[in-house]
Amino acid sequence: MPYKDEQLHEEKVFKDPVHRYVHVQDRVIWDLIATPEFQRLRRIKQLGTSYLTFHGAEHSRFNHSLGVYEIIRRIIGNFENRDDWNDDERLLCLCAALLHDLGHGPFSHSFEKAFKLDHEHFTQQIILGDTHIHKILERVETGFSRKVADVIDKTYEDKLVVSLISSQIDADRMDYLQRDAYFTGVSYGHFDMERILRVMRPIEDQVVIKSSGMHAVEDYIMSRYQMYWQVYFHPVTRSAEVILSKILHRAKYLFENNYTFKLKPFHFTSFFKEDVGLTDYLKLDESIVFYYFQLWQEEDDAILRDLCERFMNRRLFKYIEFNPNLQMKEWKELSQLFEEAGINPDYYLEVDSSSDLPYDFYRPGEEDERLPINLLLPDGRLKELSRNSDIVEAISGKKRTDHKLYFPGDLLAGLHNNDPVKQRIMELLNLEQSKGEGKNAD
Ligand code: NI
């Protein structure tokens, strides 16, 4: 039997808190899960710094990847005998689902920004480069790894396959919304996935939803909207992220200025040089990052030491609402005052802006162009979701942005109350003099 058709003697199951069980029958899938590149995802948290806000959010990209695989397995199980579905694409869909987040590194977003990295680039590299994953995929058939990479990159010719993995209602989102809700413990993020899976239909090059399932989809869109604002953009999580990225910038700055670290930061060297090869990239997981942050608490550099101590012990920055577009003057004055007070504004003052567009109809040619969710009417016609649903219409195309200014409340509180610099800072931050706190990070 060719490798691609090989089935396990006995089906393997993973116990999963969200989907109950994840089923594996294909030898290829089992082998992919066993590779070091895939096992590495156990050491990358799905939600980065969110565990400092929601202590349950310690789940990994490994969990999520298995979950996306399981959802795809169920969807295409339903598609099996439908006209527009080509079952030869089955294994390709399963592999792409399993591997779609393979290139994520530790605390993805902060690392990507600090060292100019792109996890999608590394996902492609792991699939196409000299890796265990690559060898397994090429055993399926020559050129199979390219196909998997193309599906994940959304360039694969069969758009139906692409839309299963990435669209406005795809297996990736359906998994992370439920999983992140489960592990954070919030009451948002729940929707009737079983129902959505039952009403999904493959029509030509897209997945559509039978109109009788519209309300389940409304629920899904709303839960996505709420999860973004309640969990993903939580201001405390962002405070931890600000500190994390300041640590990385400080460490890089010190490295570039020939500072002598007590222990040479071997694992970071290629990151500091912004010349990261695949081997170095795969070595840096969150356990290594924590190891260095632990060590750097004993460094001579006061800023690096303090920032690491903050991150490890959750002594986060406070925050206030602050719109940099409208408050440029205040921003400049604050930087100046921080400088005068002996608090380096490059590391202790930051504006973070987060925005989300919960759903959008099709706007061809626009920068953030997205394929819409189409409903399948009983007479066989398709109708775009927001034209049928008042609830979805109300939030369609509406981008919401939130700006926050982050600063170390404890350092400000430590300044002398009679100090005019402190008084002016407090005024600008709209804080009461004696408290010096701002919104508490909790
Ligand atoms: Ni994902």
Backbone angles phi, psi at 102, to 5 degrees: -55, -30
Find the range with the poorest average confidence among 93-102, 110-119, 256-265, 400-409. Answer: 110-119
The DSSP string of 257-301 is: TT---SS--GGGHHHHTT---HHHHHH--HHHHHHHHHHHTT-S-
The string of pLDDT tens digits covering residues 18-57 is 999 999 999 999 999 999 999 999 999 999 999 999 999 9
pLDDT grade for 364, boundaries at 50, 70 and 90:
low
CA–centroid distance, residue 44 to ligand 1 (Å): 12
The mean pLDDT value for 191-209 works out to 94
Find the range with the poorest average confidence among 77-91, 139-153, 235-249. Answer: 77-91
The string of pLDDT tens digits covering residues 116-131 is 999 999 999 999 999 9
The mean pLDDT value for 372-396 works out to 93
Q: Which two tokens stand for residue 284?
A: 């840096």
Cα 361 to Cα 363: distance, rounded to the nearest angstrom: 6
What is the predicted pLDDT for the residue at 56? 97
CA–centroid distance, residue 346 to ligand 1 (Å): 33
Cα 179 to Cα 190: distance, rounded to the nearest angstrom: 9
CA–centroid distance, residue 305 to ligand 1 (Å): 34
CA–centroid distance, residue 216 to ligand 1 (Å): 21
The CB-based long-range contact list for 87-94 (8 Å cut-off, 24+ gap) reads 89/158, 89/160, 89/161, 91/4, 91/26, 91/28, 91/140, 92/144, 92/147, 92/148, 92/151, 92/161, 93/151, 93/161, 93/164, 93/165, 94/26, 94/29, 94/69
The string of pLDDT tens digits covering residues 271-291 is 999 999 999 999 999 999 999
CA–centroid distance, residue 175 to ligand 1 (Å): 8
CA–centroid distance, residue 67 to ligand 1 (Å): 9
The string of pLDDT tens digits covering residues 154-188 is 999 999 999 999 888 999 999 999 999 999 999 98
CA–centroid distance, residue 162 to ligand 1 (Å): 14
Strands, sheet with 350-356, edge to edge from the N-terminal-most edge strand: 318-321, 400-407, 350-356
CA–centroid distance, residue 227 to ligand 1 (Å): 15
The DSSP string of 406-440 is: EE-HHHHHTS-TT-HHHHHHHHHTT--TTT---B-
Q: Which two tokens stand for residue 201?
A: 């239909």
Cα 137 to Cα 147: distance, rounded to the nearest angstrom: 10
Cα 148 to Cα 93: distance, rounded to the nearest angstrom: 8
Cα 326 to Cα 72: distance, rounded to the nearest angstrom: 45
CA–centroid distance, residue 176 to ligand 1 (Å): 7
Backbone angles phi, psi at 233, to 5 degrees: -105, 25
The mean pLDDT value for 423-430 works out to 92
Do the domains 235-355+401-429 and 3-195+211-233 match in fold?
no
The mean pLDDT value for 257-267 works out to 96
Other Cβ atoms within 10 Å of 137 Cβ, number: 26
The mean pLDDT value for 68-86 works out to 93
- According to DSSP, the β-strands at 374-376 and 206-210 are parallel
CA–centroid distance, residue 377 to ligand 1 (Å): 30
The residue among 281, 177, 232, 259 whose CA lies nearest residue 54 is: 232
Cα 102 to Cα 42: distance, rounded to the nearest angstrom: 11
The residue among 81, 30, 37, 91 whose CA lies nearest residue 62 is: 37
In the chain, where the domains are located = 3-195+211-233, 235-355+401-429
Question: Distances from the Cα of 368 to the Cαs of 113, 364, 397, in angstroms?
Answer: 20, 9, 10
CA–centroid distance, residue 253 to ligand 1 (Å): 32
The DSSP string of 56-111 is: T---BHHHHHHHHHHHHHHHHHHHTT-TT--GGGHHHHHHHHHHTTTT--TTHHHH
Contact indicator for 237, 404 with CB cutoff of 8 Å = no
Under CATH, which architecture does the 3-195+211-233 domain have?
Orthogonal Bundle (1.10)
pLDDT grade for 109, boundaries at 50, 70 and 90:
confident
Q: Which helix (H) or strand (E) holds 203?
A: strand 200-203
Question: Distances from the Cα of 403 to the Cαs of 27, 338, 351, 362, 424, in angstroms?
Answer: 48, 20, 7, 27, 22
CA–centroid distance, residue 70 to ligand 1 (Å): 13
pTM of the predicted model, to two decimals? 0.93
CA–centroid distance, residue 177 to ligand 1 (Å): 10
Q: Which two tokens stand for residue 94?
A: 């399963």
Cα 79 to chain center, whole Å? 29
CA–centroid distance, residue 62 to ligand 1 (Å): 10
Domain 235-355+401-429 grouped into CATH 1.10.10.10: no
CA–centroid distance, residue 29 to ligand 1 (Å): 17
What is the predicted pLDDT for the residue at 434? 45
How many percent of the chain have pLDDT more than 70?
96
What is the predicted pLDDT for the residue at 243? 97
CA–centroid distance, residue 186 to ligand 1 (Å): 20
pLDDT grade for 433, boundaries at 50, 70 and 90:
low
What is the predicted pLDDT for the residue at 439? 57
Residue 167's contacts (CB-CB under 8 Å, 6 or more residues apart) are 206, 207, 370, 371, 373
What is the predicted pLDDT for the residue at 289? 97
Backbone angles phi, psi at 143, to 5 degrees: 90, 0
Q: Is 20 helix (H, G, I), strand (E, B) or coil?
A: strand
CA–centroid distance, residue 74 to ligand 1 (Å): 17
